[in-house]
Amino acid sequence: MQTPIDRTRLESLAHQETERFISANPTSRQLAQAARPHLLSGVPMHWMTDWGTPFPLFVDHARGVHFTDVDGHRYLDFCLGDTGAMFGHSPGPVAALVRELAERGYTTMLPTGNAARVGALLAERFGLPVWQFTTTATDANRSVLRWARALSGRSRILVFDGCYHGTVDDTFVRLTDREARHRPGLVGQVHDLTLHTRVVPFNDLSAVEAALADRTVACVITEPALTNIGMVLPDPGFIEGVRALTCETGTYLVLDETHTISAGYHGWSGALGVVPDFLTLGKPVAGGLPAAVYGMSREVAKAAEAYLATKETGHSGMGTTLSANMFTMAAIRANLEQVMTRDAYWHMTATAAYLAERLEALFARLALPWCVTQIGARCEFQYCPVRPRTGVEAEAAMDDTLEGALHLYLLNRGILITPFHNMTLCCPETTHAHVDTLVDTLAEALEGLIA
């Protein structure tokens, strides 16, 4: 269905908002220019230039549901570090702990007294008894793939088209004309990823069954719902069906809950009652500090212990020096005990539900054929009338020009949502009034674009 957006008006809006951004942010512009000689693309990570702004917006400080840029503008944050600050910027219990520990050491390569307690908290929360720690979810996923291959004796993995598991090489594969191909945009890729990675459409159990039939696949790695190509929910029974197929074929199931942790206190898998062989989680687990975890079932842990006891000496290829440092272990404990609470989830989910209702009402009023999807504290609108079931459908619904203009319009009026698609998060400090501000501002932009 054609979206009733006037493209001439859209082009004019994009130009006006670009000029407005440039005029309003002279200090950010100066910093961007000053950074260019010594930072690639003028930013600490080159993709920070992909926000769609004429130059990067530089941040001064952040707290709760707001952040302030270097030009003194205060923003209402619905991006929240793309889940890293899902429970708000600088959550009180974590911030207090960091202040307390600031003069007691940062990293030693040795465990602290928090280690056993954090392991127990994770086991209680997610139902897997044994855990390990990394610095990012990418590291966690990479480690889990190593374990799955080592313990199964199989080399292949299975991913879903449109998946995202950080920057793990093995997962950068897409389906093109029913053939596995490298994901567009990869830099410096030498090895053929399709030799050891199979890719099938999400929500296609028959394709999963066929891909696992020869029993050469070590693991299926997936988010319970796709969240990075635009949100794609699983059909009823799909994740349970994948679990059954992996059990039948002796294949490990890895659930990456880094984004779907928004679903609830026990994550998506806990709410669904599906117990994976491995579970990975990064971003919000330490309240915004760099940290990630991965858990494993008792059977997997027993096999891993036996493998470690008999393997040849040398580096396993897993673990980095700064992982599980004193700061992050203490932060994970404080976050699990005092921040990622049932009450916090109740508020966040209810607020996101209110946001979804308001967006649906807005699109109905403007006769826009767009859908809204909610996963607990996470909410997204997509430019299609029916929620996508596959990565291909989600990608086809994208409109980069419209998205860029709307995001810039919101940013120029003090509201940030997640880049690259129209995703929002509600933290414990997000209120209905904040939601009203977002939706009313979005309505102003859309009303000026409808033909």
Coil, strand, or helix at residue 347? helix
Per-residue model confidence as pLDDT tens digits over 149-191? 999 999 999 999 999 999 999 999 999 988 999 999 999 999 9
Contact 323, 134 (CB under 8 A): yes
Per-residue model confidence as pLDDT tens digits over 425-434? 999 999 999 9
CA dist list (Å): 168 to 164, 173, 217, 290: 9, 11, 17, 17
Cα-Cα end-to-end distance for the chain? 15
CA dist list (Å): 292 to 45, 67, 136, 141, 402: 20, 24, 5, 10, 34
C-alpha angle 244/237/233, rounded to 5°?
120
Instruction: Tell me the longest C-alpha to C-alpha distance in the chain.
Output: 69
Per-residue model confidence as pLDDT tens digits over 401-443? 999 999 999 999 999 999 989 999 999 999 999 999 999 999 9
Q: What is the mean pLDDT of residues 314-325?
A: 93
Q: What is the mean pLDDT of residues 255-262?
A: 98
- Residues in CB range of 318: below 8 A, 6 or more apart: 132, 142, 143, 146, 147
Judge whether residue 1 has pLDDT over 50.
Answer: no
